[in-house]
Amino acid sequence: MFFIVGIASGAHDLGLRRCGYFPCCSGGGAMAAVTCTFQQFTLFFIPLFRFGKRYFVTCPSCGAVYELAKDEGRKIEKDPMTEINPDKMYVVQGASRKTCPSCGCAVDPNSRYCPNCGTRLM
């Protein structure tokens, strides 16, 4: 007798959720994509259970990726109307593009002022 067992990785898109504040670009109230990653144990290619769940949210303005605390992720997974708590987000990957905190316009990374609205950039 033999058994075919394995561990596979997976991801599940949880859709868009409202986030109160993104520290990367000072944006607030935006809808952000939330993703759940996990490992699953399989027996004869049939998934039996999932473990090692992690939840991630992506800033819609600059593309920065944040990991959510497990309790916050579970809450969001169960209730689609739950707003993401910014105090339970931890930076995983910084911004991939620079945006103006005032108007949201994409700007050159070396710019000191926004070409759209003139706001001084940090």
Residue range 96-113, pLDDT digits in tens: 566 777 777 777 777 788
Is the pTM higher than 0.95? The answer reads no
Any domain includes 110 = no
Question: Which domain does 78 fall in, by range?
Answer: 5-97
Question: Could you give the CA distance from residue 63 to residue 70 in angstroms, rounded to a whole number?
Answer: 21
Note the pLDDT tens digit of each residue in 48-84.
Answer: 999 999 999 988 877 788 999 999 999 999 998 888 8
Any domain includes 47 = yes
Any domain includes 106 = no
46-53 long-range contacts, CB within 8 A, separation 24+: 47/8, 50/10
Domain count, the chain: 1
Q: What is the pLDDT of residue 7?
A: 93
Any domain includes 117 = no
